A and B are shown apart, each in its own frame.
Chain A
């Protein structure tokens, strides 16, 4: 499935492929023409990918084939062991977590999990957790604190699930509690916005010492569609809302909402998930190293100061 803005690139790639095929089957020398098209393709890719609009990045953040939390846990980590359930009500498959090693170091991991196909997406509720998902995350935060292992979280959700059952079980309450629980960790905490960082449902597991973001991920208080529906009264204005919300990695770095950007392969992480995951691992290791020398109390204070400083206002 191609994204709208990628179509000219794919068409050109197809034409080059066809020409090669023709050259091979007929024996006609088309090298000069092919080279010309290839140069054009390079220019087009550069133009497209270096000037992505915020809305195009939102589409990349949602692209099928983009690495999900489980992909990262299985490939960047060793011996990932999934733990299930919130010990109270259920196991929410929109949030996964467990124990793992990062280059041999013990860590506790948690993340939103979207499905990799429609069937799995239905089972995982498109990565939109219910209260039990956040309770599972909090249970794993307890575990990290108890053993002193770093806590790493991966954010990829359109938002916490807006439904009757979620409200009945206190969706707002568990999000608040999860924010509080995570802020109180006495171990190094790193959060990576992997794809979509939708509102409180994302923040609930992103109150970390360092917040990282993938080059094409987005993070904001509301999705561009919902923002457009409210402010423009038309969800089709989502591209304009995406612009206004300053939700891209670069904007968020300037606002100091995130601390570093993890580069993606050309065209987005879904074009080369292995390369994207290698970059993720590298940045996680480097970030973890930075936090190593800090005492449990210093880690808490560091996180407190980080979030305490965010916001823009004027003294009278």
Chain B
């Protein structure tokens, strides 16, 4: 703490603006964290264990076996409704695209996870709150099709506020589309593992994310159907402590396991090896 204050005082205001900040703060316990170490610790606070949101690209790096990931998500969004709120949807899209360097809120590819061939799809919360519009829905359906065609497992990492409002009914239809595409994996006895991260709510939870063979959640993630603000307004009461957090879901029988991010890769690989009919006992890393 004191050290950080010292650094700050020494830096003349207005200068060195583009030098990246070296330090950050834990959102939960407020501990000062050296950014480089924080990243190496997968955005988990070494002091209190709080899991911070993680950029999609780093999630891919964390889960895919080194050197195996080949990106397959390429679709670009359109503005089918010519949606206009306080800003045109196309402008919002452009801003998110510039910010994230991605056409839409999903990054995915083929890879191996613990030696098991997989299609890995990661939702990007930084892009429009990870919301699901036509592109996300279509990429998930294509991902499932690809997995089924190539005998791969499907892994989807959810991080999303739900369906994307600016594509309205078409976003809603993506819920049905993604759910139906999972049938292809069923038919071929290929595993589908859903990873729920902070936050996963609305039309994403209420479609493909809830229908996996195995559902793994990160500690402390907000997961549910309605957002807490909406529920508070509806019932006009304060919500119980820990409501809609991963541990609450585990207690209510809605997820299989709550797994620390630092052990996540190993556990995911184990689940995939267990499930994938093509992987014999003792195989893999």
Contact = CB atoms under 8 A, between A and B. Distances in A.
Contacts of B168: 220-222, 244-247
B173 A257 contact: yes
B246 interface: no
A311 B76 contact: no
Interface string B61-86: 00000000000001111101101111
A176 B181 contact: no
Given A219-B169, A221-B163, A246-B169, A170 B254 contact: yes
A257 B170 contact: yes
Contacts of A199: 163, 172, 203
Nearest to A241: B85
Interface string B94-125: 00000000010000000000000000000000
Given A244-B81, A255-B170, A313 B224 contact: no
A160 interface: yes
Contact of A227 (B103, B165, B173): B165
Contacts of A28: none
Contacts of B171: 221
Interface string A299-316: 000011001101111111
B235 interface: yes
A316 B103 CA distance: 10
B183 interface: yes
A145 B141 CA distance: 26
Interface centre among B77, B174, B177, by most A CB within 10 Å? Answer: B177
A313 B210 contact: no
A164 B208 CA distance: 22
Interface in A203-227: 203-204, 207, 219-222, 226-227
Interface stretch (A75-83, A97-105, A178-186): A178-186
A308 B172 contact: no
Contacts of A308: 141, 177, 180-181
A221 B172 contact: yes
Interface in B169-201: 169-177, 179-183, 201
Nearest to B240: A164
Contacts of B182: 180
B252 interface: yes
A147 B173 CA distance: 28
A312 B76 CA distance: 9
Contacts of B175: 176, 179, 200, 203
B239 interface: yes
Interface stretch (B8-16, B25-33, B132-140, B263-271): B132-140
Nearest to A204: B206
Interface string B244-275: 10000000111000000000000000000000
Contact of B206 (A184, A200, A240, A255): A200
Contacts of B84: 244
Interface centre among A162, A177, A232, A311, by most B CB within 10 Å? Answer: A311
Contact of B225 (A160, A177, A311, A314): A160
A162 B172 contact: no
A13 to B, nearest CB: 36
Interface residues of B, number: 61
B135 A313 contact: yes
B202 A200 contact: yes
Nearest to A314: B76
A232 B85 CA distance: 7
B252 A163 contact: no
A168 B248 CA distance: 8
B167 interface: yes
Given A244-B83, A313-B134, A162 B226 contact: yes
Contacts of B209: 172, 176
Interface size on A, as a range, is 35 or more
Given A176-B207, A221-B165, A232-B86, A311 B230 contact: no
A166 interface: yes
B75 A172 contact: no
B176 to A, nearest CB: 4
A171 B252 CA distance: 12
A298 B176 CA distance: 18
Given A200-B225, A312-B167, A177 B211 contact: yes
Given A175-B225, A219-B169, A246 B181 contact: no
A230 interface: yes
A252 interface: yes
Interface centre among B85, B103, B206, B253, by most A CB within 10 Å? Answer: B206
Contacts of B138: 311, 313
Interface string B134-163: 110110010000000000000000000001
Interface in A145-170: 160-164, 166-170
Nearest to A303: B180
19 contacts: A162-B234, A163-B226, A167-B243, A167-B244, A171-B226, A172-B202, A175-B207, A176-B210, A176-B211, A179-B176, A200-B175, A255-B81, A311-B134, A311-B137, A311-B138, A313-B78, A313-B135, A313-B138, A315-B75
Give the 8 A-B CB pairs with smallest separation, nearest first. Answer: A162-B226, A311-B134, A312-B80, A172-B205, A172-B225, A231-B85, A176-B210, A171-B225
Given A220-B172, A311-B170, 20 more contacts: A164-B231, A171-B226, A172-B205, A176-B210, A179-B175, A200-B175, A200-B202, A203-B175, A204-B206, A207-B176, A221-B172, A222-B168, A232-B86, A246-B169, A255-B170, A308-B141, A308-B180, A312-B78, A315-B76, A316-B76
